[in-house]
C-alpha cells in the first residue's frame, strides 16, 4: 500500500469511495490524473462483533473523519444501500452506517453522493448485472494495477469512487 505522503499533493481532485458495512466499511482514495487516476490509499474500517452498535458506528465515523482529514477529498461517494427484503435488520444497519458517513461529509463540507450498484457495474463493465469479480478486474485494469485491490470491500469502494469521479467529469478511463 502506498504511503499517503507519496501522493497526497499530487492530485488536484480526489475522491473517497466507501462501501458501507457495520462489520467492514471498505474505503479507497483515488486521485485524478489527466487520464485515469491513482489509487492513493485503500483498506477496510473494521469493527468488532459483539461490541454495541453505537460504539461500532462511532468507530466508523471517527475513521471516516480521519480519512477526510488526511486526504481532503473533493467528493465522498458511497455505494447506495442494497439489501434483500428477507434481511430487514441489514437494511437498518446499513442505513445507520450511511448516516454516520453522510454526517462526516456534511460536517467537513465535502460533497456527498451515492452510486447505485447497477450504475457501477454498467460504467465499469458495460453490464449492469456483472458479477463482482468482473467489476474487481475492471478496477484493477482501469487503474493499471498489477495486483488485486484487497480486501474486496476496498475494491468495491474504488469502483464507487471511480464512478463518482467520472460523474464530475474529472476522471475518465
- Nearest Cα to Cα of residue 101 among 14, 20, 15, 13: 20
| Predicted structure pTM score | 0.92
The phi-psi region of residue 144 (left if phi > 0; otherwise alpha if psi is between -120 and 50; otherwise beta) is left
Does any domain span residue 78?
yes
Set of cell numbers at residue 131:
458479477
Q: pLDDT by residue (tens digit) across 119-149? A: 999 999 999 999 999 999 999 999 999 999 9
Residues recognised as catalytic: 19, 79, 153
- Number of compact structural domains in the chain: 1
Does any domain span residue 151?
yes
Which CATH number is 58's domain given? 3.30.420.10
* CA distance between the termini of the chain: 22
Does any domain span residue 58?
yes
Q: pLDDT by residue (tens digit) across 62-106? A: 999 999 999 999 999 999 977 777 888 888 999 999 999 999 999
The Cα–Cα gap between 65 and 101 comes to 9
Set of cell numbers at residue 127:
453490464
Q: Which domain holds residue 150?
A: 4-168
How many CA within 13 A on the CB side of residue 5? 0
Does any domain span residue 173?
no
Does any domain span residue 159?
yes
Amino acid at each position: 500500500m502506498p504511503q499517503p505522503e507519496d501522493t497526497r499533493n499530487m492530485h488536484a481532485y480526489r475522491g473517497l469511495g466507501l462501501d458501507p458495512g457495520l462489520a467492514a466499511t471498505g474505503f479507497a482514495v483515488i486521485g485524478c490524473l489527466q487520464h485515469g487516476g491513482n489509487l492513493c490509499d485503500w483498506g477496510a474500517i473494521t469493527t468488532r462483533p459483539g461490541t454495541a452498535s453505537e460504539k461500532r458506528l462511532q468507530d466508523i465515523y471517527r475513521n471516516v473523519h480521519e480519512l477526510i482529514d488526511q486526504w481532503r477529498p473533493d467528493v465522498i461517494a458511497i455505494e447506495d444501500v442494497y439489501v434483500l427484503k428477507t434481511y430487514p435488520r441489514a437494511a437498518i444497519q446499513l442505513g445507520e452506517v450511511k448516516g454516520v458517513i453522510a454526517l462526516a461529509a456534511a460536517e467537513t463540507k465535502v460533497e456527498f453522493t451515492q452510486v447505485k450498484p447497477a450504475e457501477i457495474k454498467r460504467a465499469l463493465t458495460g453490464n449492469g448485472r456483472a458479477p463482482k469479480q468482473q467489476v474487481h478486474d475492471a478496477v484493477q485494469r482501469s487503474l493499471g494495477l498489477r495486483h488485486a485491490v484487497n480486501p474486496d470491500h476496498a475494491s468495491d469502494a474504488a469502483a464507487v469512487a471511480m464512478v463518482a469521479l467520472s460523474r464530475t467529469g474529472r476522471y475518465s478511463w
